Amino acid sequence: MRNDLHHQDPIVITGIGLVTSVGDNRETAWRSLCDGQSGVRKLQEIYGLPKEFQIGATTEMELFAPGAVKIIRMCERAAAEAWEDAKLEEGQFDPRRFGCAISSHMGDPTFMRERFGVKSQSKEPMPPWWHQWLPNSACSFIANQHGLLGPRLCHSTACASSMMDILAAVRGIQDGQCDIALAGGGEAIDPLMAAGFHRMRVLAAHEDPVQACRPFDRDRNGFVMGEGASMMIFERLSHARSRGANIYAEFLGGTMHAEAHHVTGLGESGETLAHAIQETLRKSGITARDIGYINAHGTGTQQNDIVESKAIHQALGKSAMDTCVSSTKSMLGHLVNAAGGVETAVTALALRDGHLPPTLNLVSPDPACDLDCVPLVARKRNVEFALKLSVAFGGHLVAIALRRWPREQNGVKTGGELRVA
C-alpha cells in the first residue's frame, strides 16, 4: 500500500511542456500522436553512419546563440511551457522549496574537436568550453533561469534517465525537501551515439523512413533515433490546491530495479521487469485489474519487445489481455535520455483525454508479443490507471503508475476532438 505521507497528501502533475519531432508544444505534439503522425525523416550526412541508416525523428529548434547546445535549448523551451501551463506566479511558492531534476545529456564537444585540430566553422564568438560541457548543464541553466533554490538532481542512466529524475523529484517532495519540483529531460541526435548504436546493430533501416520503427511487429529490425524534451511540474496536492492549480494526473508510485545480466541485453525470462511492475502496483495500492493502459518502452528491437511482453504477462496475469499497450517510439523515435520523461507526459495526456496513442507500423503482430498493442490507429478508452515502463542499457528498469484526475475536481481543458478508432 502507499506510504502514509503519500496517502495523506498525494503528489500530482500540474504542468506539462513538450518539444518533439511531431510538434514543438504540448497540444500540437499530443494531437499529432493521436493522429498517428510520424516525425521520422531522412537526415543529412551523419559521419560514420551508412546512408540507409540516415534517418531520425528530429526537431526544428532555433538556437539562442551560435554554438548553443540543442538539448539545452529544447529543455528550456519545454520548461517554459510547463511553467506557464502550471500557472506559476511569484508569491505562490517558496523558491527554496522548489526542486529541479533534469536528466544528464551530451555536453558541448567543440573544445574536444579543437584538441584534435578540427576548428569551428562559426564566425561568431563561441561560448567558453566549460559553459555547456557538464552533463548537468541543462539542469543548472533551467534552475537558474527560474530561480529554483531547492534540491537539484541529475541522473545518467541511459534510456531510464528522465524517469529516474521524475522518481527523484517525487522522492524529494515525499521526503520533505521540497513542495514542488520541475522534472524531465532532453535528447538530440549525436554523431558519436549514432555511430555506436549502428555498431551495436540496434538501428532500424527502411527505404521509407516513416515505416522504419515497428514495435511489436514481426518484421521489426530496431529503433530510430529521436530528438525532443519534456518537463513536468510535480507538487503536493495541498500545495497545488492552495494556489488553485489545474491537475493532469496523480503520481501513485514508482519502482527502480536492475537486471544483473548484461550491459545491453535483457534476461529472456522478463522476471526482473515483471517484479518491478508488481512492486509499483503494490506501492501504488492498485491491482493488475486496475491497469487500463501501459506506455511501453517498445523500442522495436527483437529482444526488448519480446521480453517486455513476457514481463507484462507475468506481472498482470490474465488482466494483461485486457490492458492496452502502445509504443510512441514508433512515431517519436527513441529519445534515449529523454524517452521516459516524454512518454510519461504522453501517458498523463492519454489519461486526461481518454485517448490511447497508437503503435504505428504494427501491421503484422509478432505472436511472441501477444498483447493489445493498439495497432495503427488511436483508441478512445477512458482509463483511470496507467503504467509507464523504461528498460535501459546498463540494466536500469523503471516503472511508474499514474491515476487520471477526476475532471469534476479540476478545470483542466482537454486537447479537443481527436480522431480515434
Alpha helices in 123-270 (DSSP H): 137-145, 161-174, 191-199, 237-242
Give φ, ψ of 257 to 5 degrees: -135, 175
Is residue 34 within 8 Å of residue 378, measured between CB atoms?
A: yes
Which contacts qualify for 261-267: CB closer than 8 Å, 24 or more apart? 261/395, 262/395, 263/393, 263/394, 263/395, 264/200, 264/202, 264/393, 265/303, 266/303, 266/304, 266/307, 266/391, 267/307
Name the catalytic one among 34, 139, 154, 159: 159
What is the distance between the alpha carbons of residues 61 and 88, in angstroms, rounded to a whole number?
25
Q: Can 154 be counted among the known catalytic residues?
A: no
Residue type at 198 in one-letter notation: H
Q: Which of 6, 297, 313, 396 is catalytic?
A: 297
Q: Which of 13, 81, 362 is nearest to 228 (CA)?
A: 81
Coil/strand/helix, residue 187 = strand
Length reported for the chain: 421
Q: What is the DSSP letter of 23?
A: B
313 annotated active-site:
no
3-class DSSP state of 266: coil
Hey, is 165 helix, strand or coil?
helix
Distances (CA, A) of 371 to 56, 72, 367: 27, 37, 9
Where would I find the beta strands (DSSP E) of 9-139? 11-19, 40-42, 55-57, 98-102
Task: Please name the residues in contact with 69: beta carbons below 8 A apart, sequence gap of 6 or more.
Answer: 105, 106, 107, 108, 132, 137, 188
**Catalytic residue list contains 155:** no
Choose, from 334, 355, 369, 373, the residue flagged as catalytic: 334
Active-site residue list? 159, 297, 334
